[in-house]
């Protein structure tokens, strides 16, 4: 099966412009400052364009989030250990949470906005499912007598933009990641 049909050049250009505009608005004002009207205006594009490309608000933020985490995703899939396959469970978990934590800490407002936009379908988001599968596997491997699927949800639930902002002091930007790692290690400890 060949690709559907190449994307038209202006479409590519516009998608980039929209994504850029979104991230700019996101860093300028809070997450609720990103209305789709504003995004379209700043991108120099019609509103319809934004919706055709991204479906809805949630899709737009999801796309941005995915762009930010693509590198981690590939590294987890095919990269060298400890992020990629091969390392012992606990080391792999630590490496993964280090990566995901860094992304989250650097994109707290985006995370908040995304969480707000995806009301109920958050658990159907392919990115979420990917992270969840990965963590589930790790937990199932490390703590076979616990509910690995639930633990994966629990660890991911903590990646909440507002919580991260709430508990990250200016002088210790990685406190959140360390805390998550510590928690995961406590859960991985074999009983």
Partner DNA sequence: CATTATGCGGACCATCAGTCCGGTTGATTG
Partner DNA sequence: CAATCAACCGGACTGATGGTCCGCATAATG
Residues from 24 through 83 that contact a copy of itself (CB under 8 A): 30-32
Give the CA angle between residues 25, 170, 110 to the nearest 5°: 30
Nearer to a copy of itself by C-beta: 54 or 176? Answer: 176
Within 8 A by CB and 6+ apart from 121, the residues are 58
146 binds a copy of itself (CB under 8 A): yes
Nearer to a copy of itself by C-beta: 53 or 153? Answer: 153
Residue 153 backbone class (left: φ over 0; alpha: ψ -120 to 50; beta: rest): alpha
Q: Token pair 């250009």 is at which residue?
A: 13
Min CB(179)–a copy of itself separation in Å:
4
Nearer to DNA by C-beta: 10 or 28? Answer: 10
Min CB(67)–a copy of itself separation in Å:
23
Min CB(189)–a copy of itself separation in Å:
7
Min CB(105)–a copy of itself separation in Å:
14
172 binds a copy of itself (CB under 8 A): no
Question: What is the C-alpha to C-alpha distance for residues 80 and 162, in angstroms, rounded to an integer?
Answer: 32
168 binds a copy of itself (CB under 8 A): no
Min CB(149)–DNA separation in Å:
29
151 binds a copy of itself (CB under 8 A): yes
Total Cβ atoms within 10 A of residue 128: 18
Which residues would be at the binding site for DNA (CB under 7 A)?
Answer: 5-11, 13-14, 34-38, 40, 44-49, 51-53, 56-58
Identify what 1 binds: a copy of itself, DNA, none; CB under 5 to 8 Å per kind: none
> CA–CA distance from 99 to each of 71, 73, 84, 93, 176 (Å)?
10, 10, 12, 10, 12
């Amino acid at each position: 099966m060949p690709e559907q049909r190449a994307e038209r050049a202006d479409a590519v250009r516009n998608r980039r412009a929209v994504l850029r505009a979104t991230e700019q608005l996101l860093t300028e004002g809070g997450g609720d400052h990103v209305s789709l009207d504003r995004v379209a205006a700043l991108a120099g594009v019609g509103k319809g364009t934004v919706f055709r490309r991204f479906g809805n608000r949630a899709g737009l933020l999801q796309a941005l989030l995915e762009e930010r985490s693509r590198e981690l995703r590939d590294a987890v899939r095919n990269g060298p250990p400890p992020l990629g396959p091969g390392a012992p469970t606990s080391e792999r978990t630590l490496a993964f949470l280090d990566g995901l934590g860094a992304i989250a800490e650097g994109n707290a407002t985006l995370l908040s906005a995304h969480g707000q936009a995806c009301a109920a379908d958050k658990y159907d988001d392919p990115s979420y499912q990917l992270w969840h599968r990965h963590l589930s596997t790790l937990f199932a491997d490390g703590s076979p007598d616990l509910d690995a699927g639930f633990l994966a949800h629990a660890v991911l639930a903590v990646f909440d933009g507002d919580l991260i902002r709430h508990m990250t002091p200016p002088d210790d930007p990685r406190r959140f990641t360390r805390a998550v790692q510590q928690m995961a290690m406590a859960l991985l400890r074999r009983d």
